[in-house]
Structure 1
Amino acid sequence: MNDESSMEIAFFGSSLVSAYWNGAATYYRGIIRALSEHGHKVTFYEPDAYDRQKHRDIPDPDWAEVVVYEVDDGTGELERMLEEARSADLVVKASGVGAFDEFLEREVPNLKDGQTRVVFWDVDAPATLDRMGEDPDDPFREQVPRYDAVFTYGGGEPVIDGYETFGAKRCVPIYNALDPQTHHPTEPVDKFTSDLSFLGNRLPDREERVEEFFLKPAAELPRHKFLLGGSGWDDKEMPSNIDYLGHVYTPDHNAFNCSARAVLNISRESMARYGFSPATRVFEAAGAGACLITDAWEGIDMFLEPGKEVLVAERGADVARMVRGLDDDRAARIGQAAKRRVLSEHTYHHRAKQIEEILEN
């Protein structure tokens, strides 16, 4: 798009300034920064919820206006935010805002007119589709056809087919990617050194897979050092060779990724089942030049070449075998190959261009 076609975008999401219990933060930041650098103006509306404002890891950025609204006194303040958004060219309602989601999903389509388009942006499409499929009374079912389009964090054809079944006019995956200004190689830090590191919050549909792909390999390799970052694991029983860090703030992610011999990605169960859903951690690690081991899911080869740019494990025993056999030289080769690939094909500028092309058609 040129300057004449730059957009005013109103974006209702969970949080742009805090990654605390907010796995979508990196994705939002990458997409929105790239859209800003392409000449679009974004106002991001986020609730003061889940103590995220107390755990900010970036100040208000210069590439977006951040508006924080209170949630304790009902929807009054949010209704004023919606009225402000009425003048935008594009209004986005993201999934999982964390406050008044059902209200926003119902009200945002009411802003649609000849100038303003409305998009539902699903950062957890497999879970949303499963939820709607299991509950014929799910209120979002009747809202899906009211949006001009559904964008998703990933999911490929299975997610596209699922959303079209529920009446979506158009469904397009906008995959995770790399923001090289944020995630890049840095010097190792002693407190983050390990043979294998994993970063992820404790969630119900991830925990069993963490047990299989991280805790079991650690138990099998007692002489190797494992490192766990993320919220919610405080009371989880785990082998003594796992050091638990708690929440790792975004500015520490590069050091976390660059200090380990290998970094592990573990998909949530629903995302692994649908496939084509690379997590932000995949691109963060690749952008830092880290050697990535990922659990197996369909579509990984769209993003990284198994064996050359990423190591793929079908089960925990494969992770243990890979960690046991990995030396520094091979880890470095894999990490550098991954970095080259994502810089050439999978940055958020690639995604911003894709969004522009979709909205032009």
Structure 2
Amino acid sequence: MKHKKLNIAFFGSSLVSAYWNGAATYYRGIVRALSERGHQVTFYEPDAYERQQNRDMDDPDWAKVVVYEATEEAALKCLEQAAEADMVVKASGVGVFDELLEREVLKLQTDDRLVVFWDVDAPATLDRVHKNPDDQFLQLIPQYDMILTYGGGDPVVNAYEALGAKKCVPIYNALDTATHFPVDPDPRFEADLAFLGNRLPDREARVEEFFLKPAALEVNKTFIIGGSGWGDKQMTDNVKYIGHVYTKDHNAFNCTPKVVLNISRESMARYGFSPATRVFEAAGAGACIITDYWEGIDFFFEPDKEILVAKDGAEVAALLADLTIDKAKQIGEAAYKKVLSAHTYSHRAEQLEKLLYAKIERKKGALA
């Protein structure tokens, strides 16, 4: 059966700036892959947090970007425009007027128009609503046609369905092959172990354990940390802090060091089944990855063959001490093969498309 291509309105933090916006590469991957399948996406993002001053891409030809002033009036105007779409998405963590958007977007729901909440940080959202029975979002969850999440597996799906969600499906992040791929090494990023991530409250203790502790244990090895906010953090002399790393440098950052470290945020690790975008990006560059342990790793990569897994900082140090350059290359190549065969955004967009068409059919069927 031939389905019509969808016109999608998407309210998110930012498509064009990765500045204090870890979800940017996820949005880009999904939206570009939807566009390649013939769907049209208008991405509405607020002018906030200096993101527009720190853009790392021009408006793409695979999406229409609408940047609106960070005012209530401007947000409501965008919602009016979104009424022309077949599907309206409100992502979590837009950063301004989230509560207003979550509430108002539901007024656009009709027999023909899907309204979806897309949670790019489900563990944080679920923790928040479980702690606060007065959170307005609790009343809204059952009203959305569907909740999509950035990860979390069964624990997140079960938690959302227990709160009354009609349907909850993880659309895992993945590799965007148009932007992340192997490149030549760059001397700026030469190190035994490199980590990239902004300083966030539920990440800091894990960075201390999985990155700074191994650096202190392996004083003869070199370490690099990139991302915003680490400037005043105490570190051993063998650690070099390089500040915000623009997306154009991510491939070199992933390709150059002997090993790239993935550290999940505490809430993501607790729920499991939430590989960070950076895991797929690093694999797409052929990097050898050490990740902190979280439930469900083997759902994505085979431990010891395609990825190395550490339960604490001492294990990171031990893995580093034993790892030869040849072995690191071998693991990186295996990860690269796996990610191309099963974890690209084309794979995710195909899954999403089937899901949306099935939902539209069911909605029509219920009205017949």
TM-score, reference length from structure 2: 0.96
Q: For 1:16, give the aligned amino acid.
A: L
Deviation at 1:181, TM superposition (A): 1.1
Structure 2 residue 178 is matched with structure 1 residue 181: yes
Q: Which runs of 5+ in 2 are unaligned?
A: 359-368
Residue 123 of structure 2 corresponds to which residue in structure 1?
126
Provide the secondary structure at the position in 2 that maps to 1:81.
Answer: helix
CA distance in 1, matches of 2:176, 2:231: 30
Residue 233 of structure 2 corresponds to which residue in structure 1?
236
Residue 152 of structure 1 corresponds to which residue in structure 2?
149
Q: For 2:47, give the aligned amino acid.
A: D
Provide the secondary structure at the position in 1 that maps to 2:215.
Answer: helix
Provide the secondary structure at the position in 2 that maps to 1:263.
Answer: strand
Deviation at 1:327, TM superposition (A): 1.4
Structure 2 residue 47 is matched with structure 1 residue 48: yes
How many residue pairs match? The answer is: 358
Counterparts of 1:56-135 in structure 2, within 5 Å, are 56-71=55-70, 74-135=71-132
Residue 264 of structure 2 corresponds to which residue in structure 1?
267
Provide the secondary structure at the position in 2 that maps to 1:290.
Answer: coil
Deviation at 1:61, TM superposition (A): 0.4
What is the aligned-residue RMSD (CA, Å)?
0.8
Q: For 1:242, give the aligned amino acid.
A: V
Provide the secondary structure at the position in 1 that maps to 2:116.
Answer: strand
Provide the secondary structure at the position in 1 that maps to 2:353.
Answer: helix
Residue 310 of structure 2 corresponds to which residue in structure 1?
313
Aligned-residue identity in percent: 66
Give yes or no for contact 1:192–1:227 (8 Å, CA) kept in 2.
Answer: yes
TM-score, reference length from structure 1: 0.98
Q: For 1:91, give the aligned amino acid.
A: V
Residue 365 of structure 2 corresponds to which residue in structure 1?
none
Residue 19 of structure 2 corresponds to which residue in structure 1?
20
Q: For 1:254, give the aligned amino acid.
A: N
Structure 2 residue 197 is matched with structure 1 residue 200: yes
Deviation at 1:87, TM superposition (A): 1.2
Give yes or no for contact 1:148–1:169 (8 Å, CA) kept in 2.
Answer: yes
> Which of residues 320, 325, 329 in structure 2 aligns to 1:323?
320
CA distance in 1, matches of 2:217, 2:162: 44
Deviation at 1:80, TM superposition (A): 1.0
Deviation at 1:251, TM superposition (A): 0.5
Q: For 2:17, give the aligned amino acid.
A: S
Q: For 2:103, give the aligned amino acid.
A: R
Deviation at 1:326, TM superposition (A): 1.1
Give yes or no for contact 1:265–1:293 (8 Å, CA) kept in 2.
Answer: yes
Deviation at 1:16, TM superposition (A): 0.3
Q: Which runs of 5+ in 1 are unaligned?
A: none
CA distance in 1, matches of 2:38, 2:155: 33
CA distance in 1, matches of 2:7, 2:102: 20
CA distance in 2, matches of 1:186, 1:327: 21
Provide the secondary structure at the position in 2 that maps to 1:5.
Answer: coil
CA distance in 2, matches of 1:90, 1:24: 20
Deviation at 1:78, TM superposition (A): 1.2
Deviation at 1:5, TM superposition (A): 1.6
CA distance in 2, matches of 1:323, 1:181: 31
